[in-house]
């Protein structure tokens, strides 16, 4: 796109330069100094206006005629630009038009179509030449290098065959022309890229739609096969669903499988030999059952002897003593244990008014709980294996 536009730019610029000189020479001599200056400024604006108008027309024709041009262009026809490879250390001075711009490089195309990649460094001196008696040249940054700008670059080649620029020169008038070109080309290119993106998206959507149609057809065929087999497995599926529902509903529900009570001496949280023996017998009984989904809850109690805080602490230590014995002597996994708790003198099983009643209240209760959902599943599987 830029090659054609730049060629048109050069043609209009040459013609505009001739017309400009002719028009300036024909300024009436009877005008005063201020009127002559204003007339000359108007005349100098004409080439730029003509270039902008020509570029707009050229771009419009290229955008709206893009499809027909692509169809009519023969295969293999296109840009004939050649890339120049510069020897490392070779000094070179070139002049041309910028056709591509990156952060630290740009491509410069010479009149013969040869393109050279120019590298910018912090040492590169960029200067804008300003015509006029009292107008000095101006040092500018690399941001002034735009597509469509005619400039001269001087430097030496690097190991990649590129020109590392030491000096860059361009005229102020060429910069203005490039700025005008950029302000009109960028929106057109943006529109073209947006249209291409929409076309690509439409094509991708069409491909996805075709794939979805094939997938739906495959699913439909599979559904027919599945429907033929569904009747044979419907009863079994319903039975499995009912069993699963019963199991899920029972996961949060536990039932007491076994309860064991051990007693303690007055003010003590130490297990007696008799209490240890009772715990050993209960542990052996639970192991023989091959239970699934079971946990152990231990709760401590005390009589009303002493104050409430002391009895509460004493009951907790009694529960912890039982758990310590189960873990250390019977290898009870901690994950099977419920957090121990001490009720103190609350929830007595006998009256605290007698010595015998207080002895019964100094206790720890060991409850083996079984999950209803898991145990019922195990029972069903055992029944099925027996049948």
pLDDT in tens, 89-111: 999 999 999 999 998 999 999 99
- CA dist 14 and 102 (Å) reads 29
pLDDT digits (tens, 9 = 90+) for 339-386: 788 999 999 999 999 999 999 999 999 999 988 877 655 554 554 455
- CATH superfamily entry for domain 80-190: Copper binding periplasmic protein CusF (2.40.50.320)
Selected residue with higher pLDDT from 165 and 217: 165
pLDDT tier at 63, thresholds 50, 70, 90? very low
Q: What is the mean pLDDT of residues 279-305?
A: 87
pTM of the full structure: 0.36
pLDDT at 126 exceeding the cut of 80: yes
CATH of domain 254-380: 3.30.1330.60
Residue 120 has pLDDT above 60, yes or no: yes
Residue 331 backbone zone (phi > 0: left; psi -120 to 50: alpha; other: beta):
left
Provide the pLDDT confidence category of residue 315 given band limits of 50, 70 and 90.
very high
Dist. CA 112–CA 61, nearest whole Å: 25
pLDDT score, position 206? 84
- Asked which of 57-61, 73-77, 175-179 is least confident by mean pLDDT, the reply is 73-77
Distance CA 108, CA 190 (A): 23
Q: Residue 170: what pLDDT?
A: 95
Indicate where the chain has its CATH 2.40.50.320 domain(s).
80-190
In the predicted structure, residue 78 carries a pLDDT above the cut 60: no
| Cα–Cα distance for residue pair 207/386, rounded to 1 Å | 57
Per the prediction, the chain carries an average pLDDT of 79
Rounded percentage of the chain residues whose pLDDT exceeds 90: 39
Among 50-54, 243-247, 320-324, the range of highest mean pLDDT: 320-324
CB atoms within 10 A of CB 297: 19
In angstroms, the CA 89 to CA 152 distance is 19
- When pLDDT is averaged across residues 128-140 and rounded to a whole number, the result is 85
Residues 307-320, mean pLDDT to the nearest whole number: 93
Query: In whole angstroms, how large is the CA radius of gyration of the chain?
Result: 48
Check residue 62 and give its pLDDT.
Answer: 46
Q: Return the pLDDT at 183.
A: 78
Residue 274 has pLDDT above 60, yes or no: yes
The arithmetic mean of pLDDT across residues 131-135, rounded, is 78
261 pLDDT higher than 90: yes
pLDDT of residue 205: 86
Residue 293 φ then ψ, to 5°: 70, 40
CA dist., res. 363 & res. 119, Å (int)? 91
């Amino acid at each position: 796109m830029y090659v054609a536009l730049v060629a048109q730019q050069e043609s209009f610029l040459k013609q505009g330069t001739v017309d400009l000189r002719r028009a300036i020479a024909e300024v009436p001599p009877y005008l005063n100094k201020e009127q002559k200056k204003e007339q000359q400024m108007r005349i100098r604006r004409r080439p730029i206006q003509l270039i902008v108008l020509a570029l707009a027309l050229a771009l419009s024709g290229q955008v709206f005629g893009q499809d027909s041009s692509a169809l009519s262009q023969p295969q293999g026809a296109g840009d004939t630009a050649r890339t120049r490879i510069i020897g490392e250390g070779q000094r070179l001075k070139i002049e041309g038009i910028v056709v591509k711009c990156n952060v630290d490089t740009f491509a410069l195309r010479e009149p013969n179509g040869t393109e050279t990649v120019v590298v910018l460094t912090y040492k590169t001196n960029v200067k804008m030449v300003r015509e006029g008696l009292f107008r000095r040249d101006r040092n500018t940054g690399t941001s002034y290098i735009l597509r469509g700008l005619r400039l001269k670059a001087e430097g030496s080649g690097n190991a990649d065959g590129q020109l590392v620029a030491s000096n860059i020169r361009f005229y102020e008038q060429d910069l203005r022309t490039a700025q005008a070109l950029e302000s009109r080309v960028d929106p057109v290119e943006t529109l073209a890229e947006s249209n291409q993106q929409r076309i690509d998206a439409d094509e991708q959507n069409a491909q996805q739609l075709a794939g979805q149609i094939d997938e739906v057809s495959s699913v439909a065929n599979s559904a027919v096969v599945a429907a033929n087999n569904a009747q044979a497995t419907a009863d079994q599926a319903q039975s499995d669903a009912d069993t699963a529902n019963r199991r899920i509903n029972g996961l949060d529900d536990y039932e007491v499988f076994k309860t064991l009570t051990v007693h303690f001496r007055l003010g003590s949280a130490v297990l007696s030999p008799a209490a240890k023996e009772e715990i050993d017998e209960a542990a052996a009984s639970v192991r023989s059952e091959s239970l699934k989904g079971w946990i152990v809850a231990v709760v401590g109690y005390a009589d009303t002897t002493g104050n409430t805080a002391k009895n509460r602490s004493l009951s907790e230590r009694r529960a912890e003593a039982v758990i310590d014995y189960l873990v250390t002597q019977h290898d009870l996994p901690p994950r099977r244990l419920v957090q121990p708790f001490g009720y103190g003198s609350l929830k007595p099983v006998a009256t605290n008014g007698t010595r015998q009643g207080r002895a019964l209240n100094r206790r720890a209760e060991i409850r083996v709980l079984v999950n209803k959902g898991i145990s019922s599943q195990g029972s069903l599987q055992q029944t099925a294996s027996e049948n």
